[in-house]
Chain A
Amino acid sequence: MARPVLEVERLCKSFGGVAAVDRVSLALEPGRIYGLIGPNGSGKTTLFNCITGIERRDVGSTRFNGVRIDGLKPYEIARQGIGRTFQLIRVFPELTALENLLVVTRGSLAGAEARALELLRFVKLDGLKHEYAGNLSYGQQKLVEFVRVLMRDPSLILLDEPAAGVNRTLLNDLLEAVRRLRDDGKTVLLVEHDMKVVMGLCETVFVLDHGEKIAEGPPGVIQADERVIEAYFGR
C-alpha cells in the first residue's frame, strides 16, 4: 500500500450536542478516485469542511502527506495542495470568469493567464472569459468553480456534488476530466448523490450515516451491503 495522501483519524465534530461527524477514519492513496456517500445530513459536507479547515474539528487528526493539517487555517491547508468545490456554487460573481481563475494564483501573471485560458478552453468557456461569473448559467458557474480548483494544481481534490445540476453532455466531459486528473497522479474525493456517477467513477466508496462511517469498499460490494441499504431505505 502506497503512503496515504490523506489520513483522517477518529475525527469528531458536533454542533450543539449533535454529532455531525463521529469518529470517522479514512485513508486516501495517491492516484485514486474515492466516493463519499450517505443520506442527507449524514455529515459528508461537514467532513469536507473539517478537512479543509473551514470548520474546526473537536477531536481527531488529519494528516496530509504525513503532516498534520488539522488546526491550520483554510488558506494554509489550500496552499499545502488541497483544493475543493462547494455544494452550493461559490464563484466570485462580480469577477469575470478569467479573473475567477487568475485571482487564486501566485507568481507570474503571464504564466497564470496562459494556464487560465487553457483551462477555460478545456471546459469550452473561453468565449465567455470576460463575462461576470454571476451572469453565467448554473452549469457554467460549476465548471468555472471546478477549473478554479485546478489553477493551484492541488494534489488532493475534494468535489462536493460535482454532477448536481450539470447536463449530461457536460457531465461526461467533467467525469472525463476527473479521470484524467487521476491519471496524472492526483487524488480525488467526491461527494455525490448520483449513484451512476459514483459507481462508474470511484474505486473505493465510503458510506456515512449519522456522522459515522458505516461501510467502505469497492462500489459493487457497497451496493450490496446490508447496512448501506438500511441507511438509505430503512429496515
Chain B
Amino acid sequence: MTPRGTFRLGLVVLVAALAVYPAVGTGYGLRAVLQIFMWIALAASWNLISGLTGYVSFGHVAFFGAGAYTGAILITRAGWSWPTAALAGGLAACVVALVIGYPCLRLKGPYFAIAMLGLNEVLRALVSYFEGLTGGGNGISLPTLEATVPVYYAMGLAAAAVTLLTYLVITSRFGLRLMTIREDEVAAEAMGIDTARHKLYAFLLSAAGPGIVGALAARDQGYIEPISVFPLATTITMIVMVLFGGKGTVWGPVLGAVVLFVSQELVWARFPYLHQLLFGSIIVAVVLLMPRGVLGVLQQRYHLPRTI
C-alpha cells in the first residue's frame, strides 16, 4: 500500500473510532476529545489567514467571542435551537470580519496584529457595556440541557470541516495566491493578483470556524461572560498550536492542537503552576529551534507537499 493509501486508511479508522467513542468513553474522556475538536477548529482557522497570507492575527478569539454571544443570545432570547444558533454564530463572526477586515487588512505586519488585538478589546468592552442585551459583566446563563454527546459530534464536525476547507484551499490556485501575499505582496500585485480581495476572502473563511465553535462552546459550558469568551490566552494558544505543528500546512494545526492540549492536560493534572512555565518554554523552543514547526521541518527536509 502506498504511504498515501495507508494515511487515508488510518484517517478513516480514526474518524470511525472517534464517532463511536461517545458510546464507550468516560465523561472526562469525552470532554477532553470535545475540547481537542474545538482547538483543532480554532487553530486551523487561524492558519487559514495567518499561516497562509502571513497576516498575523492577535485577536482571533474575537470571532470566538462574537459567535459565543450571538449563539447565547439567540438561544436565550429568541429560543433558537443550539445547532442553528451555532451556524448564526459563524455568520455573525463573518460579518464582524467583513467590517473589520476591510480597513485592517490594509495594515501591514505588526500594525495588523495590534489592530486585531484592539478589536478583541473593543468587542469585550461592547458586550460589557450593552447590559440589556448581553447581561454585561453578569454574563448570560443558558437554559440547562444535557447535550454533551450532540455537542461532541458538532465540534467534531466543525474540526473536520475546517480541516477539509484548509485542504481544499491549500491545493487550489486560490491558496497559492494567498501564499504569494505571505511571500511577496508587492510582486503578487505586480503579477495581477488582487491581494486586497484575496486577503478579505481568507479572513472571512478564518472567522467562520471560530464563530461556530464559540456558539457551541457557549452551549456546552452553559454560561458565558466577557472575560471567559474574549481571553487573549486563547488567541495565543491557537498561534502556538499552529507554529508548533507547522503553519501553512493542512495537518500542522491538527498535530499542534492534539499534542499541546494533551501535554497541557497531563502536566496540568500534576503541576498546576508549572504548566504555564512549560507552555512558555514550548513557545520559546519552537520559535528558536524550528520556526517552521514539526511538519514544516519535515516538509522542507523530505520535500513533502503542503497537504501533510
Q: What residues make up the interface of A, taking CB atoms closer than 8 Å to B? A: 52-54, 73-75, 78-79, 83-84, 86, 90-95, 99, 102-105, 109, 130, 148-149, 152
Contact = CB atoms under 8 A, between A and B. Distances in A.
A94 B54 CA distance: 12
Given A54-B186, A86-B187, A90-B187, A103 B180 contact: yes
A191 B303 CA distance: 37
Interface of B: 173, 176-177, 179-180, 182-184, 186-195, 248, 303
B176 A103 contact: yes
A152 B188 CA distance: 13
A103 B193 contact: yes
A153 B282 CA distance: 48
Q: Is the interface of B mostly helix, strand, loop or mixed?
A: helix
Contacts of A148: 191
Contact of A103 (B173, B189, B190): B173
A79 B193 CA distance: 9
A148 B176 CA distance: 14
Contact of B180 (A84, A95, A130): A95
B190 A92 contact: no
A87 to B, nearest CB: 12
Contacts of A152: 191-192
Contacts of A103: 173, 176-177, 179-180, 191, 193
Given A75-B189, A92-B179, 11 more contacts: A53-B189, A73-B194, A75-B194, A79-B192, A90-B187, A93-B183, A95-B183, A102-B176, A103-B193, A109-B173, A152-B191
Contacts of B177: 103
Contacts of B193: 75, 103-104
18 contacts: A52-B190, A54-B186, A54-B190, A74-B190, A78-B189, A78-B190, A86-B187, A92-B180, A92-B183, A92-B184, A93-B183, A99-B176, A103-B176, A103-B180, A104-B192, A104-B193, A109-B173, A130-B303
Contacts of A102: 173, 176
- The 6 nearest A-B residue pairs measured at CB: A78-B192, A90-B187, A92-B183, A74-B189, A103-B176, A104-B191
B2 to A, nearest CB: 18
A90 B179 contact: no
Contacts of B189: 53-54, 73-75, 78
A75 B186 contact: no
A206 to B, nearest CB: 21
B27 to A, nearest CB: 44
Contacts of B187: 86, 90-92
Contacts of B191: 75, 78, 83, 103-104, 148-149, 152
A94 B179 contact: yes
